[in-house]
Structure formats: structure tokens, C-alpha cells
Structure 1
Amino acid sequence: MANPPSIQALPDLLAGCLRHNRRSQEMLYRQFYGYAMSVCLRYTQTREEAVEVLNDGFLKVFTKLHQYDPAQPFKPWLRRILINTATDYYRQAAPHYYQNDLHAAEHLMSQEADALSGLSHEYLLSLVQQLTPAYRMVFNLYAIDGYSHDEIATQLGISVGSSKSNLARARENLRLLLQKKTSDEYGRVAR
């Protein structure tokens, strides 16, 4: 049986990446793929978009690695690049997105929701992914990543008021989707 590939120490991997060593780049990508994908999935509507953001983000990591301060933890630096890449992607794609109304989102949820799954991580992620792109971006930046409304407004090129409004609407839409799931499950049990 073949031995699994050894995990190199992060400083060695980063040094190899700075020398443009393709093997080191591949190993860094593989080592942080799961973490990076989880960040990207929160900011995109589909897995394909998340993969695109992830790959663009790693390209930025490899080209900007000389700016990384090794005295600081690597994961937050990587996360910041991925979030910035996702917001760049959103700004470029926003004019092409169409806005799903709440009823369409509810219809999709009723098809995908499994009554036995409870509120799993995957289910909650699917709810967030059903938000309109503007609501999803603000919700993730504020509720998950801890950005202030001022930072969100600057990052997305919107007003602070729009950031607050989008957050309130995102929360309301999520509340309605969760309420719909609860009533659907209650209706199935009561029958």
C-alpha cells in the first residue's frame, strides 16, 4: 500500500511557493483546499462559482505571497484574500444576476429540504446561498466574518444604510425560509 503524501511544515511550503516551486504550490493548495472552499461557498450561489473564486484566490495567494508576514498566522491572511476575491467576483457578476423572489427560493427549498436532516451545516449553507447576491454578501461579511457596516460599504461600494438594509432583509428572508421549513415539516407530521 502506498504511503500518503507527507504534510510539509507550513514555513517550508511557503518558502517553496516563494521560489515558484509548483510542487509546493500544489501541496499548499491541497492542504488548505477544504478551509478555502468553505469560505468561498459562503459567498457564492453555486459550487462552480465557489471553485472559480477559490482558484482565483489561490492565484492571488501565489502572486502576493511576498506580502505575507510570516510572523502572523497564515489562515487569516488566506481568508482575507478569499473574501476579497469573492467580493470582487460579486461586483463583476452582480449586473448579471437576476433576483429570485422569495417564493422561488421557497419552492427550491421545499424540493431540497429533507425533514430528517434538521438544521445541518449543509442545510444552513443552502439557505444562505438562496439569498440574493447582495443580501448574501452583506450577511456573510457582517454575521460570519465580523465586518462592520462601514467596512462592508467600502468593500462593496455601497452606502452604510444599504449595508444595514441588506442585512435586515437577509435576516428576514432567512427567518421566512426557516419558518417555511418548520411549517412544511409540521404539515408532513400532522397528516
Structure 2
Amino acid sequence: MNTVYDSTIEALIQGCIRGDSTSQKGLYKHFYGYGMSISLRYSKNIEEAVEVLNDSFLKVFTKIKKYDPERSFKGWLRKIIINTALDNYRHNLKYYHALDIENGESSPANETILSGLAYQEILAMVQNLSPAYRTVFNLYVIDGYTHEEIAEMLEISIGTSKSNLSKARENLRNMLKKNKNEYARYSRR
């Protein structure tokens, strides 16, 4: 561990506990990129991701006295951002359009396509998933939650969690296949 880094973060946290706005700004700036990378995975666009991130930091600043310095601050922050993103998902659920359950044809996976894609392209594909599929995909694949944990967090059945993950993967495969076909057409010109 870098002790200079640790002491800088600790000083910012202590300042935030005292309510120092300069420390809050410093902590926000320091963890902005990290937090945004999490928020973007759960959001349909950058505006929603910024809203989730800002709401998350508001929670951080109001609950910072509950932070246990024996634990990783990044882990604590990550959990707050994910929970805030889930709150946002549940709050906006009534506004999301229902996605046709039979959205896409069944096809075998071609995971090697991923190697040719940039991070931004993959993120855009994940963001194009329906909110329910995107949320379950992120929780399971990226953040490592079990279907039981996801079902409890989202107040859905375990079967729905598994189904949403399966459909998210199928939709991503179809997007990857389409991306590969478009690339092949473009490169033949």
C-alpha cells in the first residue's frame, strides 16, 4: 500500500467528517472516475450516471461518520454507488418501457468477438440493454452477486434474475454479432 495515498485519503475523509467542503470536493474529484465507471454500468446514459454518482456522494457525505476506517474506503463507496443505482432503477422502473420478452433469436455464443471491441463499445452495448437486463447483468457478471442476493435486492424471484441474465447475454450476443457483421461489411469496401 502507498502510505502517502492512504494518508491523503484519510485526511480527506477526516475533513469530510468535520463537514469541510474543500475535503468533500477533494474526495469527490479523487474518486470521480472510479465512481463514474460503476455508475455508467448501471445507467442508460451519461446524464443518468452523473445523477447516480452525485446522489451517491451525497449519501457518502451524510453517512461518512459510519465509515469504518479498518475497511477499504473504495469498497464502501462501491457499495453505496451500487445501492444508489439500484434505488434509481427501482424509482424509475415505472417509467421504463416494457421490453418484449422474446427479444432476439436464440444463437450460440461467439465470445471471441469481444477481443476486437473497445471498452466504450462494450459499455454502449450494455447500456442498450433494458434496465432490468442491464441491472441483473451488472450485478451478476461484473459485481459478483449471486442470483439469491440479486433477487433480494431487486425484490424479484431467483428465476426472474436467472432469466434476465440469460436474456441479457443473448441480447449482447446478438449485438456483438450485428457489430461483427457491420465491421465485416465496412472492411470489404
Normalising by the residue count of structure 1, what TM-score does the alignment of the two structures yield?
0.86
Q: What is the aligned partner in structure 2 of residue 44 from structure 1?
A: 43
Query: How much does 1:31 deviate?
Result: 0.4
Query: Separation in 2 of the partners of 1:34 and 1:178?
Result: 26
Q: What is the aligned partner in structure 1 of residue 167 from structure 2?
A: 169
Query: How much does 1:188 deviate?
Result: 2.5
What residue identity is the alignment partner of 2:8?
A
What residue identity is the alignment partner of 1:159?
S
Query: Separation in 2 of the partners of 1:188 and 1:25?
Result: 48
Q: What is the aligned partner in structure 2 of residue 26 from structure 1?
A: 25
Query: How much does 1:177 deviate?
Result: 0.3
Query: Separation in 2 of the partners of 1:67 and 1:48?
Result: 29
Q: Give unpaired runs (5+ residues) of structure 1.
A: 1-6, 104-117
Check if 1:121 corresponds to 2:119. Answer: yes
Normalising by the residue count of structure 2, what TM-score does the alignment of the two structures yield?
0.87
Query: How much does 1:9 deviate?
Result: 0.6
Provide, for residues 150-173 of structure 1, a one-character-per-residue CA deviation record: whole Å limited to 9, x for no partner.
110111111100000000000000
Q: Give unpaired runs (5+ residues) of structure 2.
A: 105-115
What residue identity is the alignment partner of 1:132?
S
**SS of equivalent to 2:170:** helix
- Quote the RMSD (CA, aligned, Å): 1.7
Q: What is the aligned partner in structure 2 of residue 148 from structure 1?
A: 146
Query: Separation in 2 of the partners of 1:20 and 1:100?
Result: 44
Q: What is the aligned partner in structure 2 of residue 131 from structure 1?
A: 129
Query: How much does 1:183 deviate?
Result: 1.2
Q: What is the aligned partner in structure 1 of residue 70 from structure 2?
A: 71
Query: Separation in 2 of the partners of 1:176 and 1:49?
Result: 25
